[in-house]
Amino acid sequence: MTSNIQIDGNPAFARIPPWVQAKLRPIALEKIQAVHDWVETECIPAERIYKAQLKETRWTTPAIIHELRQKAKARGLFNLFLPNHFEESPGLTNLEYSCCAEIMGRVYWAAQTMNCHAPETGNIELLAKYCTPEQKKRWLYPLMNGDMSSAYSMTEPDVASSDATQIGIKMEITNKEIIINGRKLYGNCQYNEDMQLYILMGCSDPNNPNPWNRHTTLVVPANTPGLKQVRNLTIMGYDWAPEGHGEYIYENVRVPIENIILGPGRAFEIAQGRLGPGRIHHCMRLIGQAERAFELALIRCIEPRKKPRGKFIGEFDSNIERIADMRMTIDAMRLVVLNAADTMDLQGNKAGRYAIAQSKIMVPNALLKVIDEAMQMYGGQGLTQHTPLPEIWTYARFVRVADGPDSAHRHQVGRDQMKTAKAFRERAEQYTAKYKELCKKWNLEPEEFWGIV
């Protein structure tokens, strides 16, 4: 397959580093161009239409989303995130998809029009990786076709969920069914009729001596008796409709044993397989959100109606430097994300754990500052609904917690690095031994420093 897409001077590829451009296959060039054209011509102009329809429907997916999803599917833009090692994949690598995902991120809901939004990306990849052929027919293919949406239900209000071994919702497994009792937070809202299944992690074997084998993952249909949504959880004051984030009570919820994924006690294996890609997808899209914030800042810099002391905002030295810092920060964070995606392709998700954690920790924190600076340049208006900046900022803040708080990832990175300390000490001792040999050769008295190898 060859492509007629020209990269030079093409805005779809303007921010993609040369080393990534060199790795893009013809299919990737075509998809990146198509996604760029889609977002620029179909999604950004429709942002206010989406808002207007959402104001009327609230917990029903706006009609424009349904229309755009059908058009995007017809153009071959559905499920681009699913890596090419899956038989159901459209064919992109993680690195190639990351270029598409950044463009999708320019509009928060644009990924949804292409069935590439959270939590669908992680859930579809989970089902593709771990489900039986029969389970795929029931859950995976309808999700990939856009016939319904799903939620991933892991976080709980009564335990420290960042230590997932504490997940405590009770699952009693019999020979025919699983009986579930407990509470959960953050699964997408039952209010939206598109939401039809929950992928639930719970404790099925609390007395197992191995805490990593105590939990099970299964599918709970949204209309199962005993599953009750208590309320929608706002995020920094936003209800995040129409998908939302629910608080749930499970009271004697019963599902057939066929709904268990992979097998009892396999939840941690599944969770790690799911959360790696999910974490990186958030970061990919967040780059696009930051680019949008940066563009808004540039527009503000040359706004002729905003000229304090007779000067454009962009003519003040402080703002010139602010723009420079924003540009360099976005570009640096893009390299972090692209490196993680490439590492996942070359070495797998497990081997790419550090690169994934690096993205999860660094990207939201750095881009929060970028978005904050854009808000500052808009003054009072930057805090209002006159621009998408407050919602963009809130999303970035949410990503610091989504799929595990960044502090937990930082702790894991630190622990892994501490394991390397012994080898560095041994190397330092070898340096010192060589130094003492050189002192003898050159008839010098070796210097000694307390506490230093």
Pick 276 or 15 by higher pLDDT: 15
Whether the per-residue pLDDT at 323 is higher than 70: the answer is yes
If one counts every other C-beta atom within 10 angstroms of the C-beta of residue 370, the result is 27
Whether the per-residue pLDDT at 3 is higher than 90: the answer is no
Whether the per-residue pLDDT at 275 is higher than 70: the answer is no
As a whole number of Å, the end-to-end CA separation of the chain is 59
Domain with 135 in it: what CATH number?
A: 1.10.540.10
Structure tokens at 27: 């299919």
Domain with 173 in it: what CATH number?
A: 2.40.110.10
State the average pLDDT over residues 49-72: 97
Query: Which of 95, 112, 145 represents a domain boundary (last residue)?
Result: 145
Same-domain check for residues 141 and 153: no
Same-domain check for residues 160 and 210: yes
CA 127 – CA 259 distance, rounded (Å): 12
State the average pLDDT over residues 315-344: 97
Residues in Cβ contact with 259 at an 8 Å cutoff, skipping those fewer than 6 apart: 178, 218, 219, 220
Query: Which of 145, 179, 195 represents a domain boundary (last residue)?
Result: 145
State the average pLDDT over residues 38-56: 97
Full-model pTM:
0.94
Do the beta carbons of residue 173 and residue 264 sit within 8 Å?
Answer: yes
State the average pLDDT over residues 282-287: 95
Mean of per-residue pLDDT scores for the chain: 95
The rounded percent of the chain whose pLDDT value lies above 90 is 91
Same-domain check for residues 36 and 161: no
Residues in Cβ contact with 130 at an 8 Å cutoff, skipping those fewer than 6 apart: 261, 262, 266, 270, 273
Same-domain check for residues 31 and 125: yes
Q: What is the pLDDT of residue 272?
A: 76
Residues in Cβ contact with 416 at an 8 Å cutoff, skipping those fewer than 6 apart: 354
User: What is the total count of domains within the chain?
Assistant: 3
Note whether residue 169 is domain-resident.
yes
Whether the per-residue pLDDT at 263 is higher than 90: the answer is yes
Whether the per-residue pLDDT at 411 is higher than 80: the answer is yes
Same-domain check for residues 128 and 33: yes
Same-domain check for residues 17 and 112: yes
Same-domain check for residues 217 and 283: no
What is the three-class DSSP state of 196?
strand
Domain extent, residue 231, equals 149-260
Note whether residue 451 is domain-resident.
no
- Residues 266-270: contacts with CB under 8 Å, at least 24 apart: 266/130, 266/216, 266/217, 267/201, 267/202, 267/215, 267/216, 267/217, 268/164, 268/212, 268/213, 268/215, 270/126, 270/130, 270/201, 270/217
Same-domain check for residues 59 and 101: yes
Same-domain check for residues 183 and 170: yes
Same-domain check for residues 390 and 294: yes
Do the beta carbons of residue 241 and residue 266 sit within 8 Å?
Answer: no
Which pLDDT band holds residue 127 (cuts at 50, 70, 90)? very high
CA 398 – CA 290 distance, rounded (Å): 14
Note whether residue 427 is domain-resident.
no
Same-domain check for residues 275 and 228: no
Query: Which of 243, 260, 277 represents a domain boundary (last residue)?
Result: 260
Residue that has been written with the tokens 């389970």 in this structure: 135
Note whether residue 416 is domain-resident.
no
Q: What is the pLDDT of residue 110?
A: 98
State the average pLDDT over residues 358-379: 96
State the average pLDDT over residues 385-396: 95
State the average pLDDT over residues 329-333: 98
Domain with 399 in it: what CATH number?
A: 1.20.140.10
